[in-house]
Chain A
Amino acid sequence: METNIALYKYCVRIADTSLILAQRMCEWCGHGPVLEEDIAMSNMGLDLIGQARGFYSYAAKLEGKGRTEDDIAYFRNEREFLNRCLVEQPNTDFAYTMMRSFLHGCLSYLQFRTLVKSKDDTIAGLSEKALKEMTYHVRHASEWIIRLGDGTDVSHQKIKSALENLWQFTDELFEMDEVDQTLIKSGIACDLSLLRAEWDQMVNEVLAKAKLVRPTAGGYQSKGGFNGAHTEHLGHLLSEMQYLPRAYPDAIW
C-alpha cells in the first residue's frame, strides 16, 4: 500500500473518531446534570473537535485535491466514516457518557502517547497536544466511574449497565489492517496490539476501584467501524451534524 494513501486513511480514522465523539459530548450542552459538568462536557467536546480539525486538515493536504477539513467532515456519508463504533453510541445517560469516554479515552491516550514519537512530524505534533487533552479526559471520566460505581445502588446499576452494554465495542478499538501495517513499518503509526496490556491495566484499575466486574471475554464483539461498517446510530448523528452545510453549502460564519 502506498504510504500517502495509507496516511490519509489513518488520519481520517483518528479524526472521525474524535469528531463523532465530540458531537456526542456537545449534545450535552445545556442538558448537563449540573452546570459544572455541562461546561466540562462541552469543553471536552471542543478538545476533540480541535483534534479532528488537525487530522482532517493534514488528510486534506495529503490528498491534494483542494478539499478542506470541512469538506471531509460534512460531505461524506455514513459508510465513508471511519470512526470506531464505540464513539457513535448514544449518550443514553451520564453514566453511559462517562463509560464511553473512559473506554475510548484510555486507548486514545495510549495511542497519542506513542504517536508523539512518530516519524511523521505533523502526526507527532498533533499528538502532543491531543495527549494532554486525553490525559485530562481519562482522569475526569475515571473519577466519575469510581464515584458512580462506588456510590448509591442506582448509580452503581447505571454505570454497570453502561459497562456491560458498551463492552461489545472495545475489541474494535484495537482493530488494524494494511493501513496500519504499512505505516507501522515506516515508523509513522503505532501498533495498537502493543497497547492492549496497558489498556487492560488502566481499565481494570478503575473498574476495581469502582467495584465493577469486568465483563468476561468471549461475548459478542462488534467490528469494522474503521472501514465504514457502523451501528444504526451514526446515520442519525450525521443527519443532525451535517444538516446545515448540506442545506446551505455556501454558508459561512
Chain B
Amino acid sequence: MSTKENWPAWEVFTQQKNGAPHEHAGNVHAPDAEMALLNARDVYGRRQEAINIWVVPSVAITASTPEDMGPFFDPGNDKMYRWPNYYKTPEGIKQI
C-alpha cells in the first residue's frame, strides 16, 4: 500500500446456495485477502446473491488462450462416444 500502483486484482467466486458450485462473479481490487473478501461482499454479495465467497489472486489463475481454442476443444466435436447419451441402454435393463 506504500506505492501509488493499483492494488492487485482478485477473482471473486460466489456460491448461491448450499451444495451449489462457486461461480465466477467478477473481480475486485484490494490490498490483501481479507480486504478482497470484504470488497467482494460489498460488490457481489450485498443483495443476498451469495452464502459463501472465495477470492483468489488473479495472478494465481492460469488460463487457456484464444489460440488454444482449436487444439483444446475442437477435437471433441466428432467424438460423440464421449457423451453418455451416445450409448443405448439394452432393453429390459432398469439401471446400469
The reply to whether the CB of A151 lies closer than 8 angstroms to some CB of chain B is yes
Comparing B24-32, B65-73, B74-82, the segment that makes contact with chain A is B24-32
Of B1, B7, B29, B38, the residue contacting A40 (CB under 8 A) is: B38
Contact (A143, B1) CB under 8 Å given A34-B7, A36-B39, A40-B42: no
Contacts of B41 in A (CB 8 A): 136
The reply to whether the CB of B43 lies closer than 8 angstroms to some CB of chain A is yes
Contacts of B46 in A (CB 8 A): 39, 43
Of A43, A147, A151, A155, the residue contacting B42 (CB under 8 A) is: A43
- A38, chain B: closest CB distance, angstroms: 9
Contact (A36, B31) CB under 8 Å given A143-B38, A151-B1, A155-B1: no
The reply to whether the CB of A152 lies closer than 8 angstroms to some CB of chain B is yes
The reply to whether the CB of A139 lies closer than 8 angstroms to some CB of chain B is yes
* A15-39 CB contacts (< 8 Å) to partner B: 34-37, 39
Interface string of B27-57 (1 = CB under 8 A from A): 0111110110011011100100000000000
- A155, chain B: closest CB distance, angstroms: 7
> Taking CB as reference atom, which chain B residue is nearest A155?
B1
Contacts of A140 in B (CB 8 A): 38
The reply to whether the CB of B18 lies closer than 8 angstroms to some CB of chain A is no
- B47, chain A: closest CB distance, angstroms: 10
CA A1 to CA B1, docked complex, whole Å: 54
- B9, chain A: closest CB distance, angstroms: 11
- B3, chain A: closest CB distance, angstroms: 10
> Taking CB as reference atom, which chain A residue is nearest B41?
A136
Given contacts A39-B42, A143-B38, A147-B35, 19 further A-B contacts (CB under 8 A): A34-B7, A34-B29, A35-B29, A36-B28, A36-B29, A36-B30, A36-B42, A36-B43, A40-B38, A40-B42, A43-B42, A139-B38, A140-B38, A143-B35, A147-B1, A151-B1, A151-B2, A152-B1, A152-B2
